[in-house]
Amino acid sequence: AQSVTQLDSHVSVSEGTPVLLRCNYSSSYSPSLFWYVQHPNKGLQLLLKYTSAATLVKGINGFEAEFKKSETSFHLTKPSAHMSDAAEYFCVVSDSNTGTASKLTFGTGTRLQVTL
Amino acid sequence: DAGVTQSPTHLIKTRGQHVTLRCSPISGHKSVSWYQQVLGQGPQFIFQYYEKEERGRGNFPDRFSARQFPNYSSELNVNALLLGDSALYLCASSFFHSSNEKLFFGSGTQLSVL
């Protein structure tokens, strides 16, 4: 069975400071890992995905994540936070052993607050 | 280009009633997935359809059913509504149905069961 654990339910940073959102995953097979962002009253948007190519994945809006198999982690980072980054962030795993289905397993989410 | 569209945006029902939620995928996408997001939690997988066939099913009771039409739009049906069915129901579309596929999500239907 696959699962993800987002280690922080809420993270608060000042504008212009680095962002770190932590995620650990569990998967019996080679996983595909994603980060999605959800702004209030908007749909989920894909930030980036890892599918066993490069371990450092660059996404949209300056976000990136590093896949560390030895630590089963896929933390999301951004060098400098912007007010518009305030949102709910979800770490997501998709097991390659789901056969022909794309079944995403979401973490419980991390709410990012950005203050002036 | 239009994104994934869902209707209605909000819905209020009472316990025991039936509800139908609708989803239109992005043009050219043949796969539609449904997710349930309870307040304060991450979305949970309900169904995936590809080319009108069910490709995956999550851990939901038989009260939940879905179908996909020849134009690739989809309906999610929930019978005998319970208070616990109150949630945001998200539809997502993609070109294919593989495990590393990028999903495009709609804004959801907010269902309240009273």
Residue A30 pLDDT class (50, 70, 90 cuts):
confident
- Higher pLDDT: A100 or B100? It is B100
Q: What is the band of A96 on the pLDDT scale with cuts at 50, 70, 90?
A: low
Q: Which of B44, B55, B103 sits opposite A100 (nearest CB)?
A: B55
Among A51, A73, A55, which residue's Cα sits nearest to residue B98?
A51
Q: Chain B: give the shortest CA distance to residue A57, in Å.
A: 14
Inter-chain residue contact B99 with A32, CB threshold 8 Å? yes
> Hey, which bits of B1-114 come out as E strands?
5-7, 10-13, 19-24, 31-37, 44-50, 53-57, 64-68, 74-78, 87-94, 104-105, 109-113
Q: Which residue among B55, B56, B105 places its CB closest to the CB of A43?
A: B105
Q: HSE-up of A72 (CA within 13 Å, CB side)? A: 15
Note the pLDDT of residue A100: 54
Task: Check CB contact under 8 Å for A102 and B48.
Answer: yes
- pLDDT tier at A32 (50, 70, 90 boundaries)? confident
Chain-chain contact of B45 with A44 (C-beta, under 8 angstroms): no
Residue B98 pLDDT: 74
% pLDDT > 90, chain A: 72
Judge: B48–A103 Cβ closer than 8 Å, yes or no: yes
Contact check, Cβ <8 Å, A102/B31: yes
When pLDDT is cut at 50, 70 and 90, the band that residue A99 belongs to is: low
Per-residue pLDDT tens listing for chain B (114 residues): 579 999 999 999 999 999 999 999 999 999 999 999 999 899 999 999 999 999 889 999 999 999 999 999 999 999 999 999 999 999 999 987 776 778 899 999 999 999
Check: CB of residue A10 under 8 Å from CB of residue A110.
yes
Q: How distant, in Å, are the alpha carbons of A76, A88, A109, B44, B82 from that of B41?
A: 19, 10, 7, 9, 18
Contacts of A97 in chain B (CB under 8 A): 99
